[in-house]
Amino acid sequence: MNVKEKILLVDDEEGIRKVLGISLSDKGYDVFTAQDGEGALRVFKETKPSVVLTDIKMPGMDGIELLGRLKKEDPDTEVIMITGHGEMDLAIKSLKYEATDFVTKPINDDVLEIALKRAYEKISMKRQLRDYTQNLEKLVKEQSAKLVETERAAAVGQTVAGLAHAIKNIAGGLRGGVFVVEKGMELGNDEYLRQGWDMVKTDVARIRAMALDLLNYAKERIPDYKLYDPNGVAREVLALMGPRAKEYGVALEADLDEDLPDVWFDPEGMHRCLTNLVTNAIDACADITCAERDGRVVLKSFAPGNEQYRAGYEVADNGCGITEEMMPKLFQSFFSTKGTKGTGLGLMTTKKIVDEHGGDIAVQSDPGKGTQFVIRFAPMDHTGAASEA
């Protein structure tokens, strides 16, 4: 080590702080110590160590809570947990909260050495990844600047930057899963193997779904305009989404204007728009934070009654609603509040399709009460050009 790496050691037992402190200093680390969680946070803020070694069981704030607060302070901090005999469940829990590793008391020097080596390897990998991502972003920016005349290129640039970010997140999750699996193999523990494998599977499913959505979005699909019944599309979507609504205990209802004439539009594209909106509406009703009332989603078709637009849909739900500060982000790529269950591409795709139709999409929401999305689209002739009404 050229420059001394800083390490913060947290343990309520003075003996352990002393012995371990000396041994770490001997190994060439710049060691700071604290005897409880509060103290640790204070020292952490002052000294900014890249690695924290903390006891898991301490009076007051325990190691897991400390881990959470350290990660909040700086997500890049590597935290190694010290666990007692028989505290394996806590150890696994801490891994899920992104601890780097754990070592068991009494601490074996070689084991600790390996854990530290891994932590510093992770740090240097992260630094490389950050440089790489920054370069990627720079590259994307440069490329986008060159092509600024076309709006689409800029949109692609944003998407690539968002994509790099999303992939980084999923890769982080995957590494956590792999780590737990490796621990399971090392210790011959089936339970860890199963837990780790579940983590891996979830992330693989996420990355697959994201790739499919993106492929769909990127494909230059020429809309296939037809003279078609807007209610036909609505009925198909209602039939398709029925089972999902039922599964979540949400009532899915139709309110169709039977007098709507056939209009020129791309039924398949509009089908995707409605599927996305209805899926979101059902999700909003199924949200546990507002699950007291019975969920209800209504898909309505209507005649906008003006020259510019001849047909429209409304998807209304009585779900959790959308807050004021979320509103501007709704149609951006990768904006999602659904964690592993959403990628945040649904509304972006919907807007793209509506735009292609020369239409508009509007949203109104009452947080805690419900949301309405309204699509209106223009009369088109068979070439897709907006015709004079």
Q: How far is the CB of 219 from Mg ion (least distance, A)?
A: 19
Q: Which of ligand ATP, Mg ion, none has residue 314 at its interface (CB below 5 to 8 Å by kind)?
A: none
* Sole window of 111-119, 140-148, 234-242, 279-287 interacting with Mg ion (rule: CB under 5 A): 279-287
Tokens of 228: 């078609």
Give the residue with the Cβ less far from ligand ATP, 199 or 374: 374
Q: Which of ligand ATP, Mg ion, none has residue 161 at its interface (CB below 5 to 8 Å by kind)?
A: none
Q: How far is the CB of 316 from ligand ATP (least distance, A)?
A: 9
* Sole window of 21-29, 103-111, 259-267, 345-353 interacting with Mg ion (rule: CB under 5 A): 345-353
* Sole window of 131-139, 223-231, 272-280, 348-356 interacting with Mg ion (rule: CB under 5 A): 272-280
At residue 126's C-alpha, the angle toward residues 185 and 110, to 5°, is 45
Q: Cα–Cα distance between 322 and 336 in angstroms, integer?
A: 12
Give the residue with the Cβ less far from ligand ATP, 230 or 344: 344
Give the residue with the Cβ less far from Mg ion, 144 or 280: 280
CB 350 within 8 A of CB 272: yes
Q: Cα–Cα distance between 74 and 64 in angstroms, integer?
A: 15
Among 49, 196, 346, 370, binds Mg ion (CB under 5 A): 346
Beta bridge partners of 61: none
Residue type, 241: M
Give the residue with the Cβ less far from Mg ion, 323 or 387: 323
CB 257 within 8 A of CB 301: yes
Q: Cα–Cα distance between 86 and 104 in angstroms, integer?
A: 9
Size of the site for Mg ion (CB under 5 A): 2
Q: Which of ligand ATP, Mg ion, none has residue 319 at its interface (CB below 5 to 8 Å by kind)?
A: ligand ATP
Cβ count near 321 (within 10 Å) = 18
Q: Which of Mg ion, ligand ATP, none has residue 330 at its interface (CB below 5 to 8 Å by kind)?
A: ligand ATP
Residue type, 375: I
Binning the chain into helix, strand and coil, the percentages to the nearest 5 are 55, 20, 30
For 61, the 3-state DSSP assignment is coil
Residue nearest to Mg ion (CB): 346
Give the residue with the Cβ less far from ligand ATP, 94 or 280: 280
Binding site for ligand ATP (CB under 6 A): 213, 276, 280-281, 284, 317, 319-322, 330, 335-338, 342-348, 371
CB 134 within 8 A of CB 164: no
Q: How far is the CB of 360 from ligand ATP (least distance, A)?
A: 17
CB 341 within 8 A of CB 270: no
CB 203 within 8 A of CB 177: yes
Give the residue with the Cβ less far from ligand ATP, 84 or 162: 162
Give the residue with the Cβ less far from ligand ATP, 49 or 346: 346
Interface of this chain with Mg ion, residues 280 to 299, rule: CB under 5 A: 280
**Tokens 């002393």 appear where?**
18
CB 173 within 8 A of CB 203: yes
Q: How far is the CB of 342 from Mg ion (least distance, A)?
A: 6
Pairing of strands 78-83, 30-34: unpaired
Site string for Mg ion, 102-141 (x = CB under 5 A): ----------------------------------------
- Which stretches of the chain bind Mg ion, using CB under 5 A? 280, 346
